[in-house]
Amino acid sequence: MKIKQTAGRQHHAGPLTYVLLGLAALVSLFPLYWNLVAASHTGERVVEAPAPLLPGPHLFDNLTFAWNQVDMGEALVNTTVVAGLVALSTVLFSTLAGFAFAKLPFRGRNVLLALVVATMTIPPQLSVIPLYRIITDLGWVDQLQSVVLPSLVAAFGVFFMRQYLLEALPVELVEAARVDGAHSLRIIWHVVFPVARPAMAVLGMLVFVQSWNDFFWPFIALTPDGNPTLQVALAGLGSGNHTINQAIVLTGALISTLPLLLVFALLGKHIVGGITSGAVKS
Amino acid sequence: MLSGTTAPVSGPRAERTARRGRTHRWAARWSPYAYLAPFFVFFAAFGLFPLLYTGWASLHRVELTAPTDMEWVGLRNYSRLLTDEFFWNALRNTVTIGLMSTVPQLLMALGIAHLLHHRLRGSTFFRVVALTPYATSVAAATLVFVLLFGRDFGLVNWALGLAGADPVDWQNGRWTSQFAVSTIVIWRWTGYNALIYLAALQAVPGELYESAALDGASRWRQFAHVTVPSLRPTILFTCVVSTIGATQLFGEPLLFNGSAGATGGSDHQFQTLGLYLYEQGWVNLHLGRASAIAWAMFLILLLAGAVVALAGAYRRRTG
């Protein structure tokens, strides 16, 4: 997304700016780099002083071991399925609701919108106890639908799409389509979706990342030895009863982080563009 | 639609138009609710109902082993919290870790946003890198930082040693462990907030700076008198989001404890409310008490929100 260069005042960066930003970049990347380093040594070497600073030769062994030990492969598939479904449905339902809030007149609009915003403040801890009861009643403990279903909609997404469509979608476009005799679903498909696509992409990415990294509820609903997502499997690796091999733990961390880092490396420009174009602002 | 009710004089075309008009009025009236329905149905099922049910459960004695077996106890779960030293300890820890993680995080984010707002070579690189910690999960980040903060072998102590300082037992001290947990939060969220501030910075009209410069305002005065006031809504937004996040802190203190469980350190020195709720509900199996903690957390947030809103109203009236 093109950023308006005229807005604001942009000084040319001096050397100090580059030094400070370089430092910030170093701090951002170092823990990830060291994750790779630790995943390439033996468990004994990782906890030996001083800790290694350069990659070692055991990355492949550790990957094979971690992959088989807690079935990171299954966890990877589970996480992809969960995050994909959650992102898809959140984007779809948020766009529909956001469109209604932004462009359609109806009774109760302001009250319902205020309700949506208010729900953003409810901490997830509040729903965990009844949700746990529901999934035990339904026999869904350790099944993926128990983490997918509660996350299919998000108030944040509705608000996000509303803010975007408020400015991006001219109301005349909707009116024109209606005069042409398009019925509601056609308007959604041919007018709203094309206009909303950039914001839908950014929202999809944000929700996907959030769902991929979600911890509290999956940790309760799933078990590391049963049918875990990556984060749950990882928590199992890090807090097992047996003596912990830290190199294997960090190899698990690497496996869980790498797919998202790859996505960021490929699409980071668009994600960042979407955020800084103001789509996420209040 | 019943086509048979139309008068015989109208041709099929007129009939179709009339039908379409009716359909449209009907659709225009009801389609907004249809678009909102999926959100509100799911929200009612997985947001509102649990909220109320948790409130109901907090007035009962319920054990995780038999969650349908509820015994009415009124407000006893809440009154017990008032005299529960671990609850107050967790509340204190949540507040101090919240402050230690949120304040430096947002200040640094503001600074980084300011730096990124310059005309810059490789600006996309710096922005994407700023966002990579956000792509790292709480679990992965915490497991890395646990080792970096290790007492005998961690790189943080190694770097301190290079600077001539004694090694620190990060995990066992109250302040050191809270500092370490806060560091994880700061690391993950600073870049994300910086990009949100950057978005707001880019929306500040250039004329504001030009007129300030004409008035002879220094760069620092421009920052203080143009940038910060323009960013106030965004700063408020990030404060609210960070405060909510800080109240719910769970994964970092849980995993920072290694294999020792939900106690938040041997002396509960970094046990947060989220962790205490989990310990009460899923380790000690007292769901009723855990529900009371959940509602207490919610009420504390509402109270904080009310204070902020009142302060804002007071400011507007006096200022």
CATH of the domain at B136: 1.10.3720.10
Give the whole-angstrom CA distance, residue A18 versus residue A25.
10
Q: Residue B64 falls within a domain, yes or no?
A: no
- B296 pLDDT band, cuts 50/70/90, is very high
Residue B91 is predicted with a pLDDT of 96
Residue A3 is predicted with a pLDDT of 41
Based on the structure, what is the number of domains in chain B?
2
Give the whole-angstrom CA distance, residue B273 versus residue B248.
7
Q: Is A49 on the interface with B (CB under 8 A)?
A: yes
pLDDT surpassing 70 at residue A4 = no
Containing structural domain, residue B15: 3-57
Q: Residue B62 falls within a domain, yes or no?
A: no
In this structure, what token pair is assigned to residue A196?
Answer: 């909303």
Q: Residue B219 falls within a domain, yes or no?
A: yes
- B16 pLDDT band, cuts 50/70/90, is low
Residues B30 and B88 in one domain: no
Residues B37 and B170 in one domain: no
pLDDT surpassing 90 at residue B290 = yes
- B160 pLDDT band, cuts 50/70/90, is very high
- A133 pLDDT band, cuts 50/70/90, is confident
Q: Residue B70 falls within a domain, yes or no?
A: no
- Collapse the DSSP code of B165 into the 3-class scheme (helix H, G, I; strand E, B; otherwise coil) and give the result: coil
Mutate to test the interface with B, among A17, A129, A213 (most CBs of B within 10 A): A129
pLDDT surpassing 80 at residue B251 = yes
- Residue B4 to chain A, least CA–CA distance (Å): 22
Q: Residue B256 falls within a domain, yes or no?
A: yes
Computed over every residue of chain A, the mean pLDDT equals 85
Residues B207 and B242 in one domain: yes
Through-space distance between the first and last CA atoms of chain A, rounded to whole angstroms: 19
Residue B11 is predicted with a pLDDT of 58
Q: Residue B227 falls within a domain, yes or no?
A: yes
Residues B91 and B224 in one domain: yes
Q: Which residues make beta-bridge pairs with A12?
A: B119
Residues B40 and B178 in one domain: no
- B209 pLDDT band, cuts 50/70/90, is confident
Chain A: residue whose CA lies nearest to B128: A268
Residues B97 and B224 in one domain: yes
pLDDT surpassing 50 at residue A8 = no
pLDDT surpassing 90 at residue B14 = no
Higher pLDDT, A31 or B306: A31
- Residue A117 to chain B, least CA–CA distance (Å): 12
Residue A6 is predicted with a pLDDT of 42
Residues B109 and B37 in one domain: no
Residues B43 and B107 in one domain: no
Q: What is the per-residue pLDDT across A186-196, written as a single tens digit (0 to 9) for each? A: 888 989 999 88
According to DSSP H, which parts of chain A are helical? 15-38, 43-46, 59-69, 72-103, 109-119, 125-137, 145-148, 155-168, 171-179, 184-187, 193-213, 216-221, 230-238, 246-274
Tell me which of A8-12, A148-152, A231-235, B56-60 is least confident.
Answer: A8-12
- Residue A153 to chain B, least CA–CA distance (Å): 6
Q: Do B274 and A253 touch (CB under 8 A)?
A: no
Chain A: residue whose CA lies nearest to B273: A125
Residues B205 and B271 in one domain: yes
* Chain B residues 49-68 with a CB less than 8 Å from chain A: 49-51, 53-54, 57, 67-68
pLDDT surpassing 90 at residue A37 = yes
pLDDT surpassing 80 at residue A120 = no
Residues B104 and B165 in one domain: yes
Percent of chain A past pLDDT 90, that is, above it, reads 37
* Chain A residues 160-199 with a CB less than 8 Å from chain B: 178, 181, 183-184, 188
Chain A residues with CB-CB distance to B36 below 8 A = 96-97, 100-101, 112
Residue B24 is predicted with a pLDDT of 67
- B15 pLDDT band, cuts 50/70/90, is low
Residue B105 is predicted with a pLDDT of 96
Instruction: Give the mean pLDDT of A258-265.
Output: 88
Burial classification of residue A52, based on how many CB atoms lie within 10 Å of its CB (0-12 exposed, 13-18 middle, 19 or more buried):
middle
* Chain B residues 119-178 with a CB less than 8 Å from chain A: 119-121, 124-141, 143-148, 150, 152-155, 158
pTM here?
Answer: 0.86
Instruction: Give the mean pLDDT of A271-281.
Output: 67
Peptide linkage before B167 cis (omega within 30 of 0)? no
Q: Residue B285 falls within a domain, yes or no?
A: yes
In this structure, what token pair is assigned to residue A249?
Answer: 């733990």
Question: DSSP string spanning B76-119?
Answer: HHHHHHHT-HHHHHHHHHHHHHHHHHHHHHHHHHHHHHHHHTSB
Residues B150 and B32 in one domain: no
Q: Residue B186 falls within a domain, yes or no?
A: yes
CA B94 and chain centroid, separation: 13
Q: Do A123 and B204 touch (CB under 8 A)?
A: no
Instruction: Give the mean pLDDT of B223-241.
Output: 83
Place of tokens 């990877």: A76
Higher pLDDT, B226 or B53: B53
Instruction: Give the mean pLDDT of B234-245.
Output: 84
Q: How far is CA B255 from each of CA A211, A253, A258, B141, B179, rounded to the nearest angstrom? A: 19, 13, 20, 10, 15
Residue A278 is predicted with a pLDDT of 56
Residue A281 is predicted with a pLDDT of 45
Q: Which of B57, B75, B93 delimits the end of a domain?
A: B57
Burial A227-237 (b: 16+ CB within 10 A, else e): bbbbbbbbbbb
Residue B308 is predicted with a pLDDT of 79
Instruction: Give the mean pLDDT of A200-229.
Output: 90
Q: Is A256 on the interface with B (CB under 8 A)?
A: yes
pLDDT surpassing 70 at residue B185 = yes
Chain A residues with CB-CB distance to B255 below 8 A = 235, 238-239
Residues B9 and B90 in one domain: no
